[in-house]
A and B are shown apart, each in its own frame.
Chain A
């Protein structure tokens, strides 16, 4: 089993809809979880961090964490074409500061 798993997509949603991106992880002791956005040809950009069970909202983005199910998700409300990118889930593993990345989910928001 991979340490961090994501559906590679592409996930296609219409403009204005809610995009739901999912990630599961294998390390039960993980305490922090990150979502990065990567536009084509660019480096990853940190958009959300979550540390506690439940929801964390930041603008149009909501991260949801369920440690019991080892599941973290990212919801993007009112999706815009500018949200079209690859979204990477990252989880620390093996000690301080080592991040393990999922394969990424490619999101396409069409007008």
Chain B
């Protein structure tokens, strides 16, 4: 399985500021995914980060609020912009397992964000 790391592991931020979360994978992957898990809730896909093209955002998520970069096949960043307390969540990146196309995904350790 892929080894996935995220930075920072947690942060406490003031409203109106922005935070950039990094996701690093130990192998090259075509797709990387960003999820949000609000307190006590399940996971919701924010966007799919594709290398060499713009990210694909899910309904309810927009690029201005969650800009994503994907400079190479092992790294991606998610920025949470102009934060409000409602953005307090765990943000997780994931990558597909292998290339078999069976949709299995592995998750990074997550970034726990608290917005005051």
Please measure, in the bound complex, the distance between the C-alpha atom of A43 and the C-alpha atom of B106, giving whole angstroms.
Answer: 9
Question: Chain A, 73-100, contact with B by CB distance < 8 Å: what is the 0/1 string?
Answer: 0000000000000001000100011111
Write out, one digit per residue, whether chain A residues 43-55 have a CB within 8 A of any chain B CB (1) or not (0): 1111001010000
B102 adjacent to A44 (CB under 8 Å):
no
Most buried by B among A49, A96, A97: A97
Q: Contacts A32-B102, A43-B108, A49-B104 hold; do A98 and B42 have CB atoms under 8 A apart? A: no
Please count the residue pairs between chain A and chain B whose beta carbons lie under 8 angstroms apart in the complex.
Answer: 51
A97 touches B48 (CB 8 A): yes
Q: Is the CB of A103 within 8 A of B42?
A: yes
Per the CB 8 Å criterion, the residue count for chain B at the interface is 23
In contact, A98 and B110 (Cβ under 8 angstroms)? no
Bitwise, A35-47 to B at CB < 8 A (1) or not (0) is 0000000111110
Using an 8 Å CB-CB cutoff, how does the interface string of B81-116 with A read, 1 for contact, 0 for none? Answer: 000000000101000110001111111111000000
- What chain A residues lie within 8 Å of B33 (beta carbons)? 97, 99
B13 within 8 A of A: no
The residue in A34, A42, A44, A51 that gathers the most chain B C-beta atoms within 10 A of its C-beta is: A44
User: How would you classify the secondary structure of chain A's contact residues: helix, strand, loop or mixed?
Assistant: loop
15 intermolecular pairs with C-beta atoms under 8 Å apart: A34-B103, A34-B104, A44-B92, A45-B107, A46-B97, A49-B104, A97-B96, A97-B103, A97-B105, A99-B43, A99-B103, A99-B105, A101-B43, A103-B41, A103-B42
Q: 9 tightest CB-CB pairs across the interface, nearest first?
A: A43-B107, A92-B103, A101-B43, A101-B42, A43-B110, A103-B42, A32-B103, A44-B107, A104-B42
Binding site for A on B (CB under 8 A): 31, 33, 41-45, 48, 58, 90, 92, 96-97, 101-110
Question: A residues bordering B, Cβ < 8 Å?
Answer: 32, 34, 42-46, 49, 51, 88, 92, 96-104
